[in-house]
Homo-oligomer: A and B are copies of this chain.
């Protein structure tokens, strides 16, 4: 047991998804596929800080999913300090990463004695109840190019992956409200997401993940003008790109955004899921 602990959680871009609400937040979730990123969120927990205080890149803010995790683990006096190069609300799973990183780091700092699945369940429930995400947390706990075969927390859900480690490029133009899309009529979106999932399982490659994600954004009528323009430019240059769900963000593999004249952020696929930073030996 230590007084503080730090966890790293990869960012996660969903390429396509179907929404599966349920009264039980551990059963609720999404099917779909995406990319976990080496760009992620580092979450430091300081025990017994007096009152819970959450900061992201130095700014105090309220993240409902983080508060719910602190509540669930009895750590309402923890200070939560998160740092990330990723923009919030732009489809990178930053809120899910903050919830999951909080769960891992609180478990270490408060000696909560939970397994990884139990911590993922706490964070997944918090994110679903906050309405800010359905599938980021389980994907971020896994790493790689996660395929969400069945929705829900580890006890209910089922994951697979695309076996590849391509270079990732992305460019964000701004936010799209996840709550707004998820609280609307998701029937057309879900039908398109189910089609994309079936097609990806037939041929699970990075190229196919991008082309199916591009098709999904169009079929689900979620494409923004910025992203549509960027995709057109990338395709004109012989590449392919798609939209991050849900953000005004375009992503591609290899050098496809650069080749079309953009100056994107560059990272790699993060092979591992969320991890506690190594500590001084035995009490880790």
- Point out residues on A near B: beta carbons under 8 Å: 104, 107-108, 113-119, 143-144, 147, 154, 160-167, 201-207, 253-256, 268-269, 271-273, 275-284
One complex includes copies of this chain to the number of 2
Q: How far is the CA of A149 from the CA of B46 in the complex (A)?
A: 32
Q: Which residues of B contact A202 (CB under 8 A)?
A: 113
Q: Which residues of B contact A118 (CB under 8 A)?
A: 160
B165 touches A204 (CB 8 A): no
Q: Which residues of B contact A108 (CB under 8 A)?
A: 163-164
Whole-angstrom distance between the Cβ of A229 and the nearest chain B Cβ: 22
Q: How far is the CA of A201 from the CA of B116 in the complex (A)?
A: 11
Q: How far is the CA of A280 from the CA of B255 in the complex (A)?
A: 10
B163 touches A107 (CB 8 A): yes
B206 touches A282 (CB 8 A): yes
B117 touches A284 (CB 8 A): no
Q: How far is the CA of A160 from the CA of B153 in the complex (A)?
A: 12
Q: Contacts A163-B107, A163-B114, A163-B115; is A281 near B268 (CB within 8 Å)?
A: no
